[in-house]
Amino acid sequence: MTINEKEFPLTRASIARELELLGVKKGMTLLVHSSLKSFNRWIVGAPEAVVLALEDAVGDEGTLVMPAHSSDLSDPALWSNPPVPEAWWQTIRDEMPAFSTDLTVTRGMGLLAESFRRQNGTLRSYHPQVSFAARGPKAAFVTENHSLEYGLGEDSPLARLYDCGAYVLLLGTGHENNTSLHLSEYRSDYLSKHDVTLGAPIEVEGERRWVTFQEINLNSDDFGVLGEAFDDELGNAFVKTRQIGDAVVKLMPQRELVDYGVQWLAHYRR
């Protein structure tokens, strides 16, 4: 009798095996972007099973990293989805709890990233809006000294991942969610690039304070097109693709991706 694998659920072991077949290796430093819904298959123990499968794939000697962004901790004057009345703005600035690596939940990162962020032993960088979670031998190197200003730039976990030759894993997501391309924005020169002033509540010397800080006008609207160009031009050399359940999974070196993005943005973004 022929066994149809699609009739069976995915498991921690089967996902880890598929990741290894894709090219994830022990000792790898891996930045993961994920969508559990894209698997479109029953996963025994999801999302915990997927987190554990990723940890199995990189091994104890590897480092796993996920974005732990919390865009809710921002200036209400900039909110548009939904906006709030201007009369509320100062109350929100005065009363919004300060960022906490333990208490502050992620927003828009997905259930997998939030589960990973909450796992005992996971470190989280200190940034109220664009923090990263990491565990493994390089976790402290990746998450320490995260700059408040220009939070996805040279003093960010993205730059530290670049330094240690990390890989990016798109687990059922596209390049539009590929955070590493923000590092390309910092390193590229294009006409529309400019600074903006943001705000958030943080702890300063043990006290909650509303602070403002500088950032560039980050924009991921063209990341999908940028990533498609990278896949088309350099995919044969650098991108490995496999399907797990219904999820298309891509593995690529972050350094080559970021360097390509720098040149692409300088040429195509206005």
**Using one digit for the tens of pLDDT, what is the confidence trace for 12-46?**
999 999 999 999 999 999 999 999 999 999 999 99
Beta carbons of 210 and 200 less than 8 angstroms apart: yes
Domain that residue 116 falls in: 5-71+106-187+222-268
Nearest to 168 by CA among 263, 79, 246, 54: 54
Alpha-carbon span 152 to 146, nearest angstrom: 9
Question: Domain for residue 230, yes or no?
Answer: yes
Q: What was the pLDDT predicted at 245?
A: 93
Q: What was the pLDDT predicted at 209?
A: 97
Per-residue pLDDT of 202-215, as tens digits, reads 999 999 999 999 99
Name residues of the chain where pLDDT drops below 70.
1-7
CA-to-CA separations, 232 to 92, 226, 236, 247, 253, in angstroms, rounded = 46, 10, 8, 20, 15
Question: Domain for residue 124, yes or no?
Answer: yes
Give the CA angle between residues 44, 6, 174 to the nearest 5°.
75
Question: Domain for residue 164, yes or no?
Answer: yes
Q: What was the pLDDT predicted at 6?
A: 61
Count of Cβ atoms closer than 10 Å to residue 136 Cβ: 24
Scored b (16 or more CB within 10 A) or e, 26-57 reads eebbbbbbbbbebbeeebeebbbbbbbbbbbb
Q: What was the pLDDT predicted at 7?
A: 66
Nearest to 74 by CA among 193, 180, 194, 212: 212
Scored b (16 or more CB within 10 A) or e, 215-240 reads bbebeeebbeebbebbbeebbeebbe
Nearest to 223 by CA among 166, 171, 182, 167: 182
Question: Domain for residue 192, yes or no?
Answer: no
Question: Domain for residue 16, yes or no?
Answer: yes
- Residue 38 DSSP label: G
Alpha-carbon span 224 to 176, nearest angstrom: 5
Question: Domain for residue 210, yes or no?
Answer: no
Beta carbons of 157 and 101 less than 8 angstroms apart: no
Q: What was the pLDDT predicted at 8?
A: 82
Number of domains in the chain: 1
Q: What residues have CB less than 8 Å from 91, skipping those under 6 apart?
A: none
Question: Domain for residue 194, yes or no?
Answer: no
Question: Domain for residue 84, yes or no?
Answer: no
Q: What was the pLDDT predicted at 4?
A: 40
CA atoms within 13 A on the CB side of 92: 17
